[in-house]
Amino acid sequence: MKVSRLLIALFGATVACFLWYAVLHFLEPLLLQNVVTPAAGMDIQDWASGFEESQVVAILVAWFLAVIWHPISFLSSGRRGDRRILWTVFQILCVLTSVILCILLLPKTEYGAVWAYAMAFLNGLFPFWLGTVWCSQGACKYAPMGAKSMRGFFRQ
């Protein structure tokens, strides 16, 4: 029974990261093309593909950390075993990875780079959160920030 729950949680994390990749691939270029002006000589589509390449790595890191998180949450037990600090460290790692990759790999812009950094922040925040908020088990089910209100909202 526990193995099937773990497999469902891992599948849920994979689906959440894939859905966020779809947001990155289809929605973010539409949002950024109106607010970002690439450096002279670069087309907005080329700029958007460079941005997407940097953020795909960040989503993969979020997926990898979610895959690590779920076995840890299944092995935790007891009231003090909620692993909230570990979850927070994983979340911070996701955000830092996304923003640092954006800083290092973002093609040059004339203006609007702050919007790309904001999207990179969201790309670091949401894939890991979505991959862990629904399927964390046992003592760790309220470790992800906002999990208590999300679970309470859908329980009513």
Domain ranges in the chain are 2-155
More confident residue, 64 or 50: 64
Is residue 8 over pLDDT 70? yes
Is residue 117 over pLDDT 60? yes
Assess contact for 24 and 35: CB atoms under 8 A.
Answer: no
Is residue 120 over pLDDT 90? yes
Provide the 10 A C-beta neighbour count for residue 37: 15
Per-residue pLDDT tens for 51-90? 998 899 999 999 999 999 888 888 876 666 668 888 899 9
Is residue 126 over pLDDT 90? yes
DSSP-H helix ranges across the chain: 2-22, 28-32, 44-75, 84-105, 113-133, 147-155
